[in-house]
Structure 1
Amino acid sequence: MSTPQAGAAGTIDLGGDLTVNRLGYGAMRVTGDGIWGEPKSRDEAKRVLRRVVELGVDFIDTADSYGPDVSEILIAEALHPYPENLVIATKGGLVRPGPGQWVPDGRPEHLREALEGSLRRLRLDQIPLYQFHRIDPNVPLEDSIGAIAELKAEGKIRHVGVSNFTEEQLRAAQRITPIVSIQNRYNVDDRNSESLVDLCEQERLVFLPWAPIQDHGGNSAVQEAAAKYGVTAHQIVLAWLLARSPSILPIPGTGSVGHLEENVAAAGLELTPAEVAAISGLN
């Protein structure tokens, strides 16, 4: 049986003028161990990226800090010139002094340099969705978002998103420029951003959950559903995210073609309301 396409999950609107299939791909894992340096096989990484597009995925999420730079470079090498419908989102605001180190840098001059670097590496004239990766406690939020708003005004950014934000921080950013998406950690076990998922649904923002398929081992309802449908637990938690809210755009990442096909197959899996409630811990 052929692998279901990402379009089986339906579509979602981003910023009012971009429509993508509601199962995306996170390109963090095409880098080396610890999200540092080159992957073990550049050819395999590029095979994964090409297969992403073949499977109907038309939203790819990356960041300048993945590698650093490696993920963006590989995306361009594998996919440029890009399919007309492909939306590439990237992020800036974290620097990588070494493996396993993620240091916020929200200075306006850094964000401008980061954005320009992403444009070059991705071979784009404009980033469809540029996300502020993480707030820098040493830089006022207004300065960081203000710099991104200036880049948007210059035509280098189409839409602005934020990552690792609270609602209060989101509101502060919205006073400066329109925000179309939030990317926070969210999965079956980590529900700290539950209220933001609901906010996104109410205000027609897109919620991008990172670490979407982690932390499900203790959820018996996930295991029961996987056994019932004859699928993996990863597929069940992705189906749960799709059912949890129409504002959610899952972006599972992998460096393996096999795992990619497994993830995309979840687009065609529909859980019952009772199963969604059980996995959510509402029963």
Structure 2
Amino acid sequence: MQTFPLGSFSVGRIGFGAMQLPGPGVFGPPRDRDQALAVLRRAVELGINHIDTAQFYGPDVANTLIREALHPYPADLALVSKVGARRDDVGAWLPAQQPDELRADIEQNLATLDTDRLAAVNLRIHSGDPSAPGPVDRELFDRQLTAMIQARDEGLIGGIGLSSITTEHLQIALDRTEIVCVQNPYNYVDRSSQPVLDACTERDIAFVSFFTLGSGFFADNPVLGHPDIQRNAQRLGCSPAQAALAWALSVAPNVLVIPGTSSVRHLEENCDFGARTSAERMSAHRNR
């Protein structure tokens, strides 16, 4: 599998997103706990060494499953979490953006994952819409960065990442510190984060695409059903999901994808060799 640096780790460009492991709406326990554990174990068996999670997935559920399935963790496994949000008692997504909340969430991630250090933690800029970057609040963002830098300098996290950001966020952050990854929505249909991706590519920063296969938050998912994706899947003899992943990987060498699933079969499909190698073959056909 092709790799790219994520802080001090060299990770495969296909990782695993733990968002689909909890119950419906990323809330509550999984429908099938044994299957969720099996997915995580199979991911590592397939060579995945980048797992994306968050304390607010469940809440607590995704991290607890990861710990139960994989602890003690392989030395090359990059566990990446995010902070900046929380859930209420009915599963609503709420902001947790103050510096003391970020610090508490980092410590809670460490506790539930049972680890002393995370490969990276993404500061998620809350906008109320999981598919849209948050606005720039310079005063708050500066204080957030201070909290993240302190956590890194104390050894709690290996690197600082940013999620759901604009190019303005990225430039402000880079003026203060190193950023090891950026995590924004990006797929064949939604390329609104292209300027952020371009800025990351210029600086050799890992760009972690989420919603690469479309968003599960919305009933209408135009990615896998897009005529171009369907046509390329047929031409390459692969599934639409593999074609969509291959397209994303073909855009730039620093693009990482983290498709999530609660199915071992879908996991194996996402990691299939054809999906990893067809990026080159698709590059001449992608629609810029």
Instruction: Give the drift of 1:197.
Output: 1.4
User: For each residue in 1:227-267, what CA deviation from the matched residue of structure 2 results, as whole angstroms up to 9, or x when unmatched?
Assistant: 12221111001011111110101000001001000100154
Correspondence list, 1:52-201, <5 A:
52-135=43-126, 140-201=140-201
1:48 aligns with 2:55: no
Q: Which residue of 1 aligns with 2:219?
A: none
TM-score normalised by the chain length of structure 1: 0.91
Gap regions ≥5 residues in structure 1: 1-6
Distance 2:13 2:36 in 1: 23
Instruction: Give the drift of 1:174.
Output: 2.1
Q: CA RMSD in A?
A: 1.7
TM-score normalised by the chain length of structure 2: 0.89
Q: Which residue of 1 aligns with 2:131?
A: none
The answer to whether the 8 Å contact 2:49/2:78 transfers is yes
Distance 1:184 1:173 in 2: 16
User: For each residue in 1:107-161, what CA deviation from the matched residue of structure 2 results, as whole angstroms up to 9, or x when unmatched?
Assistant: 1111111011100111111111111122477871111121111111111111000
Distance 2:51 2:64 in 1: 13
Distance 1:188 1:99, change over 3 A: farther
1:250 aligns with 2:257: yes
Gap regions ≥5 residues in structure 2: 128-134, 215-221
Identity %: 38
User: For each residue in 1:16-46, what CA deviation from the matched residue of structure 2 results, as whole angstroms up to 9, or x when unmatched?
Assistant: x311111100011110110001001211110
Selected match of 1:12 from 4, 9, 13: 4
Distance 1:268 1:14 in 2: 19
More displaced stretch, 86-95 vs 172-181: 172-181
The answer to whether the 8 Å contact 1:48/1:260 transfers is yes
Count of residue correspondences: 271
Instruction: Give the drift of 1:176.
Output: 2.8
The answer to whether the 8 Å contact 1:135/1:141 transfers is no
Distance 2:169 2:248 in 1: 24
The answer to whether the 8 Å contact 2:243/2:275 transfers is no
Instruction: Give the drift of 1:169.
Output: 1.0
Letter in 2 for 1:11: T
